[in-house]
Amino acid sequence: MKILTSWRERYRQVEGILAITIVFLKLRVLFATWGKPQGFDCPSWLEMFRLVRWFEPLPPPLTGGGNYHPPLSHLIGRLIYAVYPHEVEASQVASTLALLIAFFAMRALLLRIGVLYTVSGFWILYGGFSLPLFVFLAVETTYDSWVLAWFMLVFLCSVVSFWIVAPKTWWKSPRYSVGLLLLGSTLALGMLNKYSGLIAFSLPFLTIFSRRGLRAVFREISAPLFAITIGVMLASPLYYQRYYKAEGHWMPTAMDFQLTDRLVYERAKRDAAPVDFVAKMLRVPLAPREDEHTPVMDSFVDLTWFHTWKKDSWLGEQPPLSMAISQVYSKAFAWLSLSGAAYFCIRHRQILARFRHFGLILVAVACLYSASALCFAWKYPVWDWRVFKTKYMSAAALCIVYLASVPFQDGCFYRRHSIFVRAIEETAFFSLLAFMFINHLVPVY
């Protein structure tokens, strides 16, 4: 136990250095890709960016490939563009800023719940934000970097407000009420960035449920409902005026008007064999891959796992060394996360309570994102559009590093094998350093 305590102190001392290091690594990747247009949504994002200005009317939502998206990510890009008037570079700076905000929000969250200075906490934070997907997301011209940023800020606000029981007369506490107003405002900002911000509305309830159970959700429902009402009130004017009033839909997409005839055909095929359609989406392809650079686009499992670790051929060819590293990650983390998931289900009582509660939220978030992706694919079965892109559900990818770290967190492995604590923690720590530097310096994507 003394060994464990001494390593906790060392973690506390080096954590600040690690935080500064990952900031410099993100900036290094930004410098290496400076001015290079990249990303699935780069053309459509830039198309709308050229039409969006602060305090000016927005373009009609169904007049271009990406114009249906809410405008917040473009407006943030406009602020950077006002200082440095270059479109691609402004979008890259905005994406890097979004990932750094998400990183520091997660850091504050882990510190708040007391798991930051642990091997698992380090892996969730520094390993999670060094995932190849996250490295690329920090320099992609996209809406989705800010989706992650607003999600993590909502997550942090939810933990601050609901990790412990709210005061019974919370409305009489100015400090607590301000926190709920901040939570509601952040929820609204997420909705003004992209439709998927809707999933963040579950975080206040998931936080209460993970900590105190289902009954507590109903018992404590007034405070989270207040925050959610604030979020809805702030975001609804845009959705009503821009979408529902103008187009008759609350959340229209480009596919609705660009692929009308094709959707009729694909949906008819889906409806003819719905069970086979769902089974095909959920299958794990076992046959050898014909092209290592291209995922199986109608398999949810294959495409989301592929995009976490490897570069899609649509974005360009991944260099051989980078692909070799990605292959190792893909196989190693598959076994690690499956082992962690089994441990989480079978030995959950052996897991430190606060770490288990935090994990329940991450697992629930991953399930919600997965369900929404499958529902979207059911409605829009157009596989060459890669409807299962992992960047659409980037917050769910944090569940991978959480599950992989479960067997090694306090309260599980260490209680019975304390003699090996130092060797295990040293190995895990230096493996984390290697993971961080390799993924940012190669980079692996």
Q: Note the pLDDT tens digit of each residue in 248-268.
A: 889 998 888 888 889 999 999
Q: Note the pLDDT tens digit of each residue in 186-228.
A: 999 999 999 999 999 999 999 999 999 999 999 999 999 999 9
The answer to whether 308 and 133 have CB atoms below 8 angstroms apart is: yes
Q: How confident is the model at residue 5 (pLDDT cuts 50, 70, 90)?
A: low
Q: What is the pLDDT of residue 89?
A: 96
Residue tagged 């990303």 (tokens): 39
Give Cα 145 distance to the centre of its chain: 8
Q: How far, in Å, CA of 375 to CA of 156, rounded?
A: 27
Q: How confident is the model at residue 414 (pLDDT cuts 50, 70, 90)?
A: very low
The answer to whether 48 and 19 have CB atoms below 8 angstroms apart is: no
Query: Quick one: which of 312, 315, 282, 278 has its CA closest to 295?
Result: 312
Which 8-state DSSP code applies to residue 244? I
Q: Per the structure block, which two tokens stand in for 383?
A: 């596989």
Which 8-state DSSP code applies to residue 250? S
Give Cα 97 distance to the centre of its chain: 15
Is residue 101 scored above 90 in pLDDT?
yes
Q: Which of 157-180 are b and which e, b meaning 16 or more Cβ less than 10 Å from the residue's Cβ? A: bbbbbbbeebeeebeeeeebeebb
| Sign of the torsion angle spanned by Cα atoms 37, 39, 43, 45 | negative
Q: How confident is the model at residue 13 (pLDDT cuts 50, 70, 90)?
A: confident
Q: How far, in Å, CA of 169 to CA of 171, rounded?
A: 5
The answer to whether 161 and 177 have CB atoms below 8 angstroms apart is: no
- Total domain count, the chain: 1
Helix pair 222-238, 203-212: axis angle to 10 deg: 160
Question: Three-state DSSP class for 174?
Answer: helix
Question: Three-state DSSP class for 326?
Answer: helix
Q: Per the structure block, which two tokens stand in for 402?
A: 């959480």
Q: Is 310 left (phi over 0), alpha (psi -120 to 50) or beta?
A: beta
Q: What is the pLDDT of residue 6?
A: 56
Residues belonging to the chain = 445
Give percent helix, percent strand, percent coil of the chain, each to the nearest 5: 75, 0, 25
Residue tagged 């070799």 (tokens): 324
Is residue 425 scored above 90 in pLDDT?
no
Q: Note the pLDDT tens digit of each residue in 154-179.
A: 999 999 999 999 888 898 889 999 99
The answer to whether 340 and 407 have CB atoms below 8 angstroms apart is: yes
Query: Quick one: which of 438, 432, 381 has its CA closest to 408?
Result: 432
The answer to whether 190 and 69 have CB atoms below 8 angstroms apart is: no
Is residue 411 scored above 80 in pLDDT?
no
The answer to whether 193 and 246 have CB atoms below 8 angstroms apart is: no
pLDDT higher at 11 or 342: 342
Is residue 24 scored above 90 in pLDDT?
yes
Residue tagged 């770490």 (tokens): 355
Domain with 375, as residue range(s), is 2-441
